[in-house]
Copies of this chain bind each other. A is one copy, B any other.
């Protein structure tokens, strides 16, 4: 039955094109920055026609946000919550060390910087970035802290969203504005000081 036999092939080709487009968007934005990112540039790099991109995405922002969502999902390896071994300090150190490693990887650093810089100056892009990429990441901390509060591991009066900022803010500040280098020891110090502040 050639009709059904063709369908999986077409679907595989579509998926290959989709991944090629997302990879091309990440590579391109890392090289040129967000402002100079174009659908034409992404299409040329991915070896597809512009119309193929416009069939699936309405704008370069939409392509890039899908590309980052894919990167985040690859990094999460199917895990959609933070580790919860019952040892909050150990769990958060594991997560923040992994975050430091990710921020220090060149393949992540350049496109992530280009996107973050665009969000700094473009409120509409920032809103989408928060809704699609950053918000869901921060929610994982909020959920972990909420569980820790229910288990009596952090104080009852702690605002779990502010506690989240206390953990991710220092790393983001150091990374975005390049104030100082970051390593695992830094991640550990941030967790230790922040946890002393919110401990039960």
The distance from the CB of A25 to the nearest CB of chain B, in whole angstroms, is: 16
The distance from the CB of A62 to the nearest CB of chain B, in whole angstroms, is: 19
The distance from the CB of A44 to the nearest CB of chain B, in whole angstroms, is: 22
Between A134, A170, A174, the greatest number of chain B beta carbons within 10 A of the residue's beta carbon is seen for A170
- A25-58 near B? 1/0 per residue, CB < 8 Å: 0000000010100000000000000000000000
- Report how many copies the assembly holds: 2
Determine if A168 is an interface residue (Cβ-Cβ < 8 Å): yes
Q: A120-B120, A121-B114, A193-B197 are known contacts. Are A134 and B165 too (CB-CB below 8 A)?
A: no
A175: nearest chain-B partner, CB-CB: B120
Q: A172-B169, A173-B168 are known contacts. Are A123 and B178 too (CB-CB below 8 A)?
A: yes
List A residues at the B interface (Cβ < 8 Å): 33, 35, 113-114, 116-121, 123, 126-127, 129-130, 134-135, 138, 158-159, 161-163, 165-166, 168-174, 176-180, 186, 189-190, 193-198
